[in-house]
Amino acid sequence: MEGIRGHERADLHLHTTYSDGALSPYELIKKAKTANLHIISITDHDNVNAIDDAIEIGKEFGVEVIPGVELSVNVGDKEAHILGYFVDYKHLAFLEHLSMFRRERLRRAERIVEKLNNLNVPLKLEDVLDRAGTASIGRPHIATALVEGGLAESYREVFSKYIGFGCPAYEKKYQLSPTEATQLVATAKGLSFLAHPGKYMTDGALLQLIKAGLDGVEVVHPSHSPENTSHYRGIVNEYFLLESGGSDFHGGKKNDDGVLGVFTIPVEWVENMRRRLF
Ligand code: AMP
Ligand code: FE
Ligand code: FE
Ligand code: ZN
């Protein structure tokens, strides 16, 4: 058994239609099974509403689903992401915080639409809301609404021209401080991991986040080179932290169709996390 177990793989970073992913939990888990994953975590932005069903669906497919969430924090004037794993997805105070973050996302979408309208881009808020449904609303929903409504050429163009950082219709998201985020995850009895540090993080900033209470770092991610991964594994070992990883798969709509089943970690890393829970 040991030998067989040794080949089992996990992907602890996945998105569904409950945030900016294109697939429902059912569709995602079916694909995860085909990609030979044994353990996954669904980590929707500011949302754990997929988890209850996903755990049941996972049982049907023989895929274990670890409850997860992805939170946004401010690091200087930049945004970083913190993954919470093994969170109690029924914890009331935790759920109230997530609802508040989603309400703030809605207000931000309203502000972005207003700015676009002032730039003579006649996007209607309803078109954005239709696309978001019950999901955590984000800029990808705005970009899709603009492209499908014939108001912009491409998804990329929307970001580079209007809503990307520093662009005229850019609006900041409500963000927690790193300590608030790790404390919120701890309140829900989960473990905090810094997501994809290679995307934006200096080592100095990473050390600040470690001090803010991280339990671990996402070392495997499509944005990381092999050198990034070994560099972050070095830091994890130095500070006695846990290591994680995954594909950050959003269902194929971000040209990310090739990542599922490729950016994976050994299930032993998940067992190491479980030993840290209490
Ligand atoms: P939000 O959570 O609303 O800030 O949206 C963040 C998401 O927007 C990211 O996960 C990316 O998928 C997407 N995004 C952000 N910046 C860009 C960009 N410059 N080009 C394309 N997509 C982007
Ligand atoms: Fe996302
Ligand atoms: Fe992220
Ligand atoms: Zn993500």
242-245/265-266 β-pairing? unpaired
Residue 2, pLDDT above cutoff 60? no
Mark the residues whose beta carbon lies below 5 A from ion ligand 2.
20
Closest CA to 209 of 47, 100, 87, 79: 79
Atom number, ligand 1, closest to the C-alpha of residue 79? 4
Ligand 1 nearest-atom number relative to CA 140: 8
pLDDT tens readout for residues 43-96: 999 999 999 999 999 999 999 999 999 999 999 888 999 999 999 999 999 999
257 pLDDT above the threshold of 50: yes
173 touches 70 (CB < 8 A):
no
DSSP one-letter string for 164-191: STTSTT--PPP-B-HHHHHHHHHHTT-E
Q: Ligand 1: list residues with CB < 6 Å.
A: 45, 138-140, 156, 159, 164, 173, 254
Nearest to 181 by CA among 59, 247, 108, 173: 173
If you count them, how many residues does the chain have? Answer: 278
Range from 5-9, 76-80, 179-183 carrying the lowest mean pLDDT: 5-9
Cα distance between residue 66 and residue 47, in whole Å:
14
CA distances from 164 to 98, 155, 167, 170 (A): 24, 11, 5, 6
Residue 4: band (very low, low, confident or very high) from pLDDT cuts 50, 70, 90: low
22 neighbors 256 (Cβ within 8 angstroms): no
What does the block give as tokens for 108? 């931000």
User: The dihedral of CA 140, 78, 109, 106: what is its sign?
Assistant: positive
Ligand 3 midpoint to CA 181 (Å): 14
Give the closest ligand to the alpha carbon of residue 19: 2
pTM of the model: 0.95
Residue 254 CA: nearest ligand 1 atom is 12
CA distance 130 to 7: 42
Q: Name which of 64, 90, 70 is nearest 82 in CA terms.
A: 70
Task: Report residue 252's pLDDT band, with 50, 70 and 90 as the boundaries.
Answer: confident
